[in-house]
Every structure is written in C-alpha cells, then in structure tokens.
Amino acid sequence: MEASSRAARRGYAEAVSAAALWGSSGIFSVYLFRMDVPPATVALVRPLLGLLFMVAYLALFRGSALRVPWKGLVVLALGGGLAVGVFQVAYQASIDAVGVPSTVALLYLAPAFVVVASGPLLGEWPSRRRVGLAVLAVAGVWLSVLGAQDVEPKFGSAGLGWGLAAGVSYAAYTLLGRFATPRWGSVPAVVYSTAGACVLLLATAPVLGHAWTLPSGVPAWTTLAAFGLLTVAVAQFLFFDALGRIEASRASVAATAEPVVAALLATALLSQGLRPIGWVGLCLVVTGVAGVGLAGQKRVA
C-alpha cells in the first residue's frame, strides 16, 4: 500500500511539473510570432525538434524502450498522432487568432471533458469531491483569463473553433495516454504519438493550405529548440509517466497548474499582469489542484 501511495504522489508531482513546463508555451509562441515565425511552422517544428531530442536520448541510453506490439504501434502512431497533431495546430492557430488568455480559457475545458469521459471510456468514475475540485479549477482558469490586465479575452468564430479543438484534442490525448501507458509504457507512448503527429502535420499542411517556412536566424532556432525540448520532450515524458500512475481525471486537474505558471510568466515577461479577480482565479486553481492531490493521497494511504 505504501508503494502505491508513493507511486501516486510521484505521478501527481510529474503531472504538475509537466503543467509548469507547458505554462511557458504561450510565452514561447508570442516571442516566436514576434520573430515572424508563422503558427504553422511553430506547430510543426516544435514537435519535430522535441522528437529529435527524444530519439537522441533513447539512442544513447534506452534504445530497447521502444519495443511494442503492432497493435500498440498502430494505436499510438495513429490515435496518439491524430490527437497531438490536431492539438499542435489548434493551439498555435488559436493563440495567433485570439491571444493567449482566450486560448487558455478554451483549452482548459479539457479537464471537464476528461472527467465526463474517463468513467465510460476507462472505467475510472471520479468521486463527487474530484468533480467539484475539477469544476473549481476550471472556474479559476476562467477567472484568471477574465482578470488579465490589458489583454481582453476575444472569442470570435475562428478563435472559438481553434480553442475548442485544442481543448478536445488535449482531453483525447490525456485519455489515450491513460489507456496506453500502463499497457506499453510512457516512452513508446510519447515517442510514437509525437512521431505520428509529425507525419500527419507534414502530410496535411499542403492540403490545408498552411504556409510554413523554416525559421531564419539563430534566435528563432534557439527559441524553437528550447520550446521543443522543454514542452514536448521533457513535459510529455513527465505527463505520460504520470498517466501510468494516476487516473486520467487526477492528471487532468493537476495540469490546470499550467495557467498559474503562464500568468506569472506573462506578468514578469510580457507585462500582462492580473487584476484582483485574476489572482482570485489563480487561487481557485491552486486550491483545486492541491485538493485533488491531497484527496488522492488520503485514499491510497
């Protein structure tokens, strides 16, 4: 029982750590857009660089970790690739269309989607307490968005569509990770889903008319490399490993720590602070994340 408790604590810590790294995504995207790197390029090159970092690491230290049966390869490359690929395009397009705050608000409807779907799809029926804490965290995200200074949320048709697509694909990615990781491991789940996404993005970019060009200049490449390393290679390994240890709904609520980090970084680096209502929202997010973590520890102790 103690081992199970330690595994659950580690999983929750990994999910929160992944969320903290993802919290830097909006900052990276804004700076890259300012360097005239188009959203389609960011959506493709970011996971591609992340994949290269993963492959380099595995080639040096864990080459045998990628062995999975054909069924697993198909599920991860096709299902995972579709979820990750749609998310990459939708997230960058939404930021470009309506900005970081509105994108974050729509993206973090994902925990609600996961809580609703994890019961019938995974047999992981959340408790009433977890549902309540998930609602609290999502409400906190929205309050933090509404409380952003000098950045008014916008929800036009394009931004609404892309933002919802990001939220749904993020939820699908979480559910698939929870299904796949206990069966085939976190390493294959991350690598094959990212590889599938890269193939999908390369194949569909000409059809969808997305213009992407290679970035020019060392600053753009350096920023993209850091973006891919931190928010794809490292964060996804952490999140998928977490999904092998804790339920999808717990991991999804833990990930709402992302907007807390995003708001702090936006305040420090973009001069986009929060009004009082925004700080109240962040407190609600922290309460929801901490509450789910503590409730889980009590249950497995």
Which is it for the CA torsion 288, 292, 293, 298, positive or negative?
positive
What pLDDT does residue 152 have? 56
Which is it for the CA torsion 22, 237, 196, 53, positive or negative?
positive
Strand partners, 274: 148
Divide the 301 residues of the chain into consecutive groups of 10 and give the mean pLDDT of each group.
Answer: 73 90 85 85 86 86 78 91 87 74 76 86 84 82 68 60 87 91 89 89 69 80 93 91 88 83 75 70 78 59 42
Q: Break the chain into its structural domains and give their ranges.
A: 2-300
- What residues have CB less than 8 Å from 141, skipping those under 6 apart? 104, 105, 108, 256, 259, 281, 285
Q: What does the H/E/C string look like for the chain? A: CHHHHHHHHHHHHHHHHHHHHHCCHHHHHHHHHHCCCCHHHHHHHHHHHHHHHHHHHHHHHCHHHHCCCHHHHHHHHHHHHHHHHHHHHHHHHHHHHHCHHHHHHHHCCHHHHHHHHHHHHHCCCCCHHHHHHHHHHHHHHHHHHHCECCCCCCCCHHHHHHHHHHHHHHHHHHHHHHHHHHHHCHHHHHHHHHHHHHHHHHHHHHHHCCCCCCCCCHHHHHHHHHHHHHHHHHHHHHHHHHHCCCCHHHHHHHHHHHHHHHHHHHHHHCCCCECHHHHHHHHHHHHHHHHHHHHHHHHHC
d(CA 248, CA 119): 10
**Measured in whole angstroms, how far is the alpha carbon of residue 51 from the centre of its chain?**
16
Count of C-beta atoms within a 10 Å radius of residue 3: 8
Closest CA to 243 of 231, 254, 258: 254
Which is it for the CA torsion 189, 195, 200, 205, positive or negative?
positive
What pLDDT does residue 300 have? 43
What pLDDT does residue 172 have? 93
What pLDDT does residue 106 have? 78
What pLDDT does residue 25 have? 83
What pLDDT does residue 126 have? 80
What pLDDT does residue 157 have? 63
What pLDDT does residue 21 have? 93
CB 263 within 8 A of CB 274: yes
Question: Quick check: pTM over 0.75?
Answer: yes
